[in-house]
A and B are shown apart, each in its own frame.
Chain A
Amino acid sequence: MAKFLPKIALPKWMGTSYDLVSVWRNVDVVLLIAVFLQSVIGTLTVYSATRQRLINQGFDQYVYVQRQVLFVIVGAVITFIVMAVGHDWIRERAVFWFISTSLLLVLVLVYGAVTRGARLAFDLGPISLQPAELMKVAVLILIAAYTADAAYDKIDYHQFSVSLLILGFPVLLILLQPDLGSATVVVAGVAGVLLMAGAKRRYIALISGLTIVSAVAVALAGVVDRYQLRRIDAFLNQDSTEKDLQQIVLQVRFAKRAVASGGFFGKGYLQGPLTNGAFIPVQFSDFPFSAIGEQFGMIGGFVVLAIFGVILWRLWMISRLARTRFDQLLISGVFSLMLFQIFQNIGMTLGLTPVSGLPLPFISYGGSHLVSSAMMVGLAQSIYMRRLR
């Protein structure tokens, strides 16, 4: 295949043209196809979950899906850029990414647009940017880079503390937004890195404990909006009839019903009454799995789960085959982060986990999370491509 590729003169930092072509030969095609399939499913889902409510509101029914297609294309471009520039180049600037994203996180606390009591994103006119999504990647890169320098399996107290600091700063900023969901995802990703890096079990326990303690402390301090706490309350009392919890309880109840009513084969595309009836608030970003379940049934649900399985399996393999310690740690982080986010999002749709505003990777509507997922896929591909070098 390589011989059909044109020989192009490339900038120096991209390596020699020969390098590039030979490297591209090693792209993980399975991962690429899986991500592509998931994005297609996501786009279709976003359309089905937004069509009727846009019509009801008198808008163009394609508004969201058009933008989603655009986001997917942007994501694809970003994936290829990351693959092209290579993870080493990115690693060298780990601190820079981290600091600049942190800066964005601070800025969003001041200038962010308020949605449902939280400042999650910059409102940039046609698009909005969620710095927390970028921070997911930045933290993983920095922590992986930092711990990769430590002797294997010998993460000492000092390194662990520094890791915690690196993690703690953005997590605190994210909690202040407040966005409990993103904070836990970041923690999950970092936990994966630290686990792979050889942190002792008690460190892992400590980090988990600290997360819980700080989350509780933040909650008690009143920093976290009561809404976030109600989500947990609603999770523990899924059949509650309490008025405060109604909105969340009903959201989850309808999501569960949507999935359940799909049965084996689903109602058919665009035929889901609960989806069409807009019964589930922000279904297209937070509960896309309910739309899939209702329209495509258990078959569709398992296909989506299976594709996620393939993606995670590839990430796991890439981590296994990684050439350097940084590579391995980074991909472990990506793996953990993705795993947690998928589990959390589908779990809340099925009533297994509390509601959080986490998007379902590759599927949910939204630019920021697609971009950050694309970056992670790009990093994984880059590591895979260059594993033999």
Chain B
Amino acid sequence: MSMQNNESVPKRLLALGIVALVLFGALGTRMWFLQAVGSRDVEEVIGKVRTRTIKLLPERGRIFDSGGRVMADNKRTLVVTIDRDVVRKPAERLALAQRLSGPLNVPVEVLLVRMQDERYGPFESIPLREDVSEEAALFLMERVEDYPGIFVREEWRRNYPYGALAGHVLGYLGAILKGNLAYYKSVGYDPNERVGQYGVEETYETALRGEPGFVRYEVDAVGNILRLIERVEPIAGNDLQLSIDLKVQQFAEQALETQLLVRRRIEAGQVKLPDGTLDPQYAEVNYYKAPAGSVVVMNHNSGRVVAMASYPRFDIRWFGGGLPKDKFSQLFPQTDDPDLSILVNRAISGRYNVGSSFKPLVAYAALNSGQLPEGAKYTFDDRGTYKLQSIPDDRCQQGVKCVFRNSICRATGAPCRYGAVDVEAALAVSSDTFFYKIGEQILTERGYAPVLENEVRQFGLGSPTNIDLPYEYAGTIPSKELKKRLADIGAISQESGKAYYVGDQVLFSIGQGLLSATPIQMAQAYSAIANGGRLYEPRVAVALLAPGTLDARPGFVDFGTTEVVKRLVSIKPSRRINMTTAIREPIVKGMARVITGPGVNFDYYHKTTGENIFRGYDYAKLPIAGKTGTAQGLNNLPWNDSSAFGAFSLDSSQPYTAFAYLEKAGYGSQAAAPVVKCIFSALAGNYRYDEVLPADPLDKASFDVAPTSSLRNPLCLVGGSSDVRE
């Protein structure tokens, strides 16, 4: 049969040919798109897939105190990890978990849970067990065939030899919080890394961490290593030298805690009705609660913080990881009661009324702003009460508070009367009326300009000190804006928030009312008085050191083996305040009289607020000047009084300023002043410091968040106290 005469044959063949062309065209186009267009994106993906990169974590920088004591150390641990690929299938997962359970000494169920940990990405290896012994690690590595995808990784575990000592300053490490994840990723962190979450561990996180290195292997689909491509060694983090002297730090913590424990056993004053009988509203006997407190010691010529104690303390090692959630919440209860919160460094976060300890700054404001024409010679006749001059009598009769009193003197049962006092004497006996008057006049005679506010702001109050610790509180300074802001958030009534009254100003001038400051701010401000007007940013860290500082002996490093990479303490002050001798002298003299006396004679001899407590103090050895303060607490009840005391050395070879604040612990002279007195006694060399010893191993069964730390010899706390609530 011949076909040449049949016309339709080529047509059908043509159809087949066209189909072929179309299909080949499709293949060709697809290939073009894959190879020419998509090839670049794919290259990167493949790089990841066919190689296996294992991060080599650097050793974190160590932290030393000023004397070279190792406060934060690292321990090398071995971590066994597994590839997600080999445990993807449930059956294989189970089989592997059963085989690994023995060598790792972890129950099968726990391993199964860890193998499915969703926190780790598809190309990340999953840690199965930390702290594996060398033998167990070797056992696994020698049997790679039996344990596919298993890897042993070297890691560093943070170790804090001194436990709770300086815990609030050191801080701790923890998992990256969700809110910070984006930031840490942007600077090259892995989401599962542990980072500093408190204290200097947080502030200097990136410097302490160092640079991770990596090993990159070429692997096949099963994960078998074919060859080593690249190994980049990690760079250890910078070591950190603190200005904290653990000897002084330990002493400060001991003095603070001992004093708080003592104050808890003291009866507070009673509340009496006008007829002299006890107010039945309250219990007959009320002890001070003395729940918390803090003390700061800093070098006022550089801003270096020598000691910074905050009570309650906590053992940093609780944050070492592996603490069950319920145990954690038992140790660190979530509470709305500020008295109970542990994880607050009160030295930098305490929102405190500082009471009369604020008066030196008001005195400065009056002198520096020219409010007192005769300066130091200006006197005011203190008769125990002060009636506001700027408010007409008729308004006073309508109920506006116009009369402000001094504290009650026990001898007379009436507001103390000090007679004619100048700035110096007013500070020495803490005359309120003197400062009421200054406070009122500096406002009313200056056209209601915020002169006092601006003057005290020079000392850094009302703004953060920029200390190198996280969670610093900026403090508040009473002003129209502050009142409006407080009214807006409902902290004070809308009515009260409308304006800034003279009444606000006179409370401000004695450190009460809406003024709030932190102990570190007060220490900074006192330092500026002490050093003649130089304001230094406080620092707890002195310098970043080159990695790998060597030990001189166990627990101590030799700073000679390293070099400073970056100084953290500035030599220059951040601000200079006008502090002429004419201004400074009366203030310093007045504050020195607080310690040494004399007080004033009017009616009878009035001691200064610190005269009694500092009677046994070795002033000749280390002369100091200070000021007491008592902050009124809730409902102005005696047992709610908080105690403040600040002092600075007048000896230029020991340029220290200390500020202590003890919550709900009594008058300034009763609770805080003894602590500061102890500290200066110790700095003067009149106390043999306890040796700074590594803490006992953390008892994980214990429910003490930190062991008690008390003074071996609490005699320095003892001394008569003033009977004036100042």
Give the interface of A toward B (CB within 8 A).
52-53, 56, 152-153, 192, 195-196, 198, 243, 246, 254, 256-257, 259-264, 273-274, 276-279, 293, 297-298, 301-302, 305, 308-309, 312, 316, 319-320, 322, 324-325, 328, 332, 335-336, 339, 343, 346-347, 350-352
Contacts and interface: CB of A to CB of B under 8 A. Distances in A.
B17 A316 contact: yes
Interface of B: 1, 3, 6, 8-10, 12-13, 15-17, 19-20, 23-24, 26-28, 30-32, 34-36, 38-39, 42-43, 45-46, 49-50, 88, 218-222, 224, 226
A359 B218 CA distance: 30
A263 B39 contact: yes
A305 B28 contact: yes
Given A273-B46, A339-B23, A343-B27, A56 B220 contact: yes
7 contacts: A56-B222, A152-B1, A153-B8, A260-B39, A279-B50, A293-B34, A293-B35
Given A196-B16, A336-B16, A350 B50 contact: no
B3 A301 contact: no
A256 B24 CA distance: 17
A276 B50 CA distance: 10
Contacts of A196: 9, 12-13, 16
Contacts of A305: 24, 27-28, 31
Contact of B35 (A298, A312, A316): A298
B44 to A, nearest CB: 10
A259 B26 contact: no
B35 A320 contact: no
A261 B31 contact: no
A23 to B, nearest CB: 20
Nearest to A246: B88
Contacts of A198: 8, 12
Main DSSP-derived SS at the A contact region: helix
B13 A279 contact: no
Contacts of A263: 35-36, 39
Which of B50, B218, B219, B226 counts the most A-chain CB atoms under 10 A from its CB?
A: B50
Contacts of A278: 220-222
Nearest to B22: A343
A53 B224 CA distance: 11
A332 B45 contact: no
Main DSSP-derived SS at the B contact region: helix
Nearest to B47: A273
Given A152-B3, A260-B34, A274-B49, 7 more contacts: A196-B9, A263-B35, A305-B27, A316-B20, A319-B13, A319-B16, A352-B30
A350 B9 contact: no
A255 to B, nearest CB: 10
B27 to A, nearest CB: 5
A320 B10 contact: yes
Contact of A279 (B20, B49, B226): B49
Contacts of B219: 277
Nearest to B27: A346
Top 8 closest A-B pairs, CB basis? A277-B220, A260-B42, A298-B35, A343-B23, A260-B34, A273-B50, A279-B221, A350-B30
A243 B222 CA distance: 17
Contacts of A56: 220, 222, 224, 226
Nearest to A309: B24
A297 B220 contact: no
Contacts of B12: 195-196, 198
A302 B222 contact: no
A52 B31 contact: no
A301 to B, nearest CB: 5
Contacts of A261: 39, 42-43, 46
A350 B31 contact: yes
Given A309-B24, A339-B20, A347-B27, A320 B34 contact: no
B50 A328 contact: no
B28 A302 contact: yes
A320 B3 CA distance: 10
A389 B23 CA distance: 34
B39 to A, nearest CB: 5
Contacts of A328: 3, 9
Contacts of B10: 320
Nearest to B43: A261
Contacts of A279: 49-50, 220-221
B50 A274 contact: yes
Given A302-B28, A328-B3, A350 B23 contact: no
A57 to B, nearest CB: 10
A18 to B, nearest CB: 25
Contact of A352 (B9, B27, B39, B43): B27
B32 A298 contact: yes
B31 A301 contact: yes
Contacts of B8: 153, 198
Given A198-B8, A309-B24, A346-B27, A332 B221 contact: no
B31 A325 contact: no
Contacts of A264: 35-36
A241 B213 CA distance: 32
B20 A257 contact: no
A53 B220 contact: yes
B365 to A, nearest CB: 68
A52 B220 contact: yes
A257 B41 CA distance: 10
